[in-house]
Amino acid sequence: ETFADEWALLADKGYQGLGDQKRCIHPKKGRNLSRADQQFNDEVSSDRVIVENFFGRLCTLWRVCADKYRWSEELYNDIFQISVGLTNFHIEYNPLREHNAEEYAQREHRMLAIGKEKARKRRLSQEKYRRRKQMRHRMSLDDLPRHHDADVDSDATQM
């Protein structure tokens, strides 16, 4: 193959000419396809669904990607790349497909457990700090003369 070491693009039948420039995976054309070709088309179609789901999520999250672009041309690539990056981040925590939900739930559970453990350690650290601060405060008060006793003595001498 001409592009054997490159990434492949999943393309529908409308992108037949793209294969001249890039390595593309197209569904097979024709009405009388062999069983193997029909199976291949089904697999390509199944894989393309996730791509369509991604673009659906992208357009749902970022209106700029769904509507006609009206801003400066210099900003287009940056805005689109940022939108795609943020969508990828969003998908990390909100899967596109149901079978990804179990992995998501496991990751979410792990993150919650890490957060709870962090909060517990912080609470223990703060409690330890407060106990030590109270102890230092008590010790410093013990070293000082008692103001109440001094006031009583001064009252007695004035009379």
Is 56 within the bounds of a domain?
yes
Upper half-sphere CA count for residue 142 (Cβ side, 13 Å): 6
**pLDDT tens across 123-144, in order?**
999 999 999 999 988 888 777 6
**pLDDT tens across 22-75, in order?**
778 878 888 899 999 999 988 888 888 888 888 888 988 898 988 888 888 999
Q: How far is CA 70 from CA 23, 56, 67, 74, 86, in A?
A: 32, 20, 9, 12, 21
If asked whether residues 73 and 118 sit together in one domain, one would say: no
Higher-confidence residue of 149 and 109: namely 109
Range(s) of the domain holding residue 85: 1-96
- Which among 78, 96, 114 is the end of a domain? 96
If asked whether residues 73 and 122 sit together in one domain, one would say: no
